[in-house]
Every structure is written in structure tokens, then in C-alpha cells.
Amino acid sequence: MIIGSKLLFYEDLPSTNTQASRLLKEKVQQEGTVVYTDFQTAGRGQTGNKWESGKGKNLLFSIMLYPDTILPEDQFMISMSVSLGICDFLDSHLEGATIKWPNDNYVKNDKIAGILIENSIMGDKIESCVTGIGLNINQVTFPTEIPNAVSLKKVTGKEYTPDQCLNEVLSRLDFRYRQLLYDDRAMIRSEYVSRLYRLNEWHLFRRKGSIFSGRITDVLSSGKLIIEENTGKMSEFGFREIEYVR
């Protein structure tokens, strides 16, 4: 086991990602070490977004990795393997789990988990990687500004033991990480694509303020999303170059 080979628990923290990065700066850490907490005072999402989570209700953790066989240009492959690991965990508890490109896990139209990967890149190598995951377990009411947040309990009605869920999800993530390092990456990418939210369905998207109809057909190992527009044109989008409308 790589992921989860060492666990560091804190009652509360500003952010598990910030704590993991701090520990990595101090000294080399055992690969797969997990920092986890019951509560974050400054939980972070992408680009200044916040991650909200009630105390002791959900999983909030970060994994320290040294994915030295992955080139910086393929770093999105790490995100793919993490998204699949979370899907594997969700599949064992409920139906309808999908991956919303680029880095959310959904159940139907609601968000159950978010991933924040922060890589430290030196030249042509990923020197270290902090993979932060927020996974909603027992929280049933969320702030009104996030109406589409959902949890395992909200879907199934059951109460879960967070520590048990942590062990389960870590072993799923470990399996996918080893698959990424030692197996066929094309398989990871094709499984990731097959689990995509709204794959091959016609929907509206917004690009630079203008709305168009298209359907998601693929994601490249660079992380670019491929959409077939209703004009027949195939277009590539990076993160933040496109928004889902409905």
C-alpha cells in the first residue's frame, strides 16, 4: 500500500492541503502519507473558491505523493486516477456516481466530492504532489449558496462511520494510483471518459460569454475537454475556458 501507509490526524486545520505542503517543505515525507482533519477553517477549492464542511461530518484529507514517472504535461492523469478511485468508493455505496470534468464527483446532478491537486514542478519533473479531497459523508444540510451539494447520507439515508469510509476510499485510491504508475494509462483515460457526467449528451455550454450547444466526446491526457459543437466542429477546452450551462 502506498496511499494511506501513514495517517496524520489533526482536530482542526486551516486546510489539509496547506498543512501537507508545509510538511513537504520541512522534509521528505513517506510517500502516501495522509493528512486528515475533522474541520477546516480555510478549506480551499480551485482559484480562491472555498470548501465548506461541517465539523466531523465529512472526509477532508490530503495525500502526499511523488509521482516521478508522470511528466508535468501529463499531470492531469493524476486527477483522472483520483476521480476514478472516488467513483470506485461511491459505487460500493450508491448508484449514479459520475465524474464532472475536470475534478468533481457527482451523483446525478449534485456534487459529492471535490479534488484540489497542487503539484510542485521542477524542470521536467513533478517533484511532489498534494492531492486534496473533500468527500461529503454525513452532512445533510449545506449553506444555501451551494444548493447542489450532496452527501452519502443525503442520498442513502444511512449514517456512516467517517474513519471506515476513509480506510475504504484510501484503498480504492491506492489501487488506482498503482494502476497509474505501473499499468496502462490509456485504460485510466478511457475509464475516466466513460464515467463522465453528460458524456455524449447534447447540452448548453458557455464560452467567452456566448452560449452554444454541444456534447462532450473525450478528454485528452493533457486534461483538455473535447466537445462536438452542433455545427459539427470539434473544439478543445482547457480549465476555465468553458462553463456548463444546463
Binding site for ligand BT5 (CB under 6 A): 15-17, 40, 43-46, 49-53, 60-62, 104, 111, 114-116, 132-134, 136, 146, 149
Burial (CB count within 10 angstroms: exposed 0-12, middle 13-18, buried 19+), residue 202:
exposed
User: CA torsion 230→96→116→148, rounded to 10°?
Assistant: 80
Instruction: Using the minimum distance from each CB to ligand BT5, give the nearer residue, 49 or 156.
Output: 49
Instruction: Using the minimum distance from each CB to ligand BT5, give the nearer residue, 85 or 114.
Output: 114
Residue 230: CB minimum distance to ligand BT5, A: 27
Cell 476514478 belongs to 84
Residue 134: CB minimum distance to ligand BT5, A: 3
Instruction: Using the minimum distance from each CB to ligand BT5, give the nearer residue, 154 or 186.
Output: 154
Q: What share of the chain is helix, strand, coil (3-state, %, to 5)?
A: 30, 35, 35
Q: Is the peptide bond before 143 cis (omega within 30 degrees of 0)?
A: no
DSSP state of 194: H
Instruction: Using the minimum distance from each CB to ligand BT5, give the nearer residue, 56 or 186.
Output: 56
Residue 187: CB minimum distance to ligand BT5, A: 25
Instruction: Using the minimum distance from each CB to ligand BT5, give the nearer residue, 21 or 221.
Output: 21
Residue 78: CB minimum distance to ligand BT5, A: 14
Distances (CA, A) of 123 to 127, 139, 222: 9, 42, 17
Residue 150: CB minimum distance to ligand BT5, A: 7
Residue 212, beta-bridge partner list: 205
Q: Which residue is nearest to ligand BT5 (CB)?
A: 114
Other C-beta atoms closer than 10 Å to the C-beta of 189 total 19
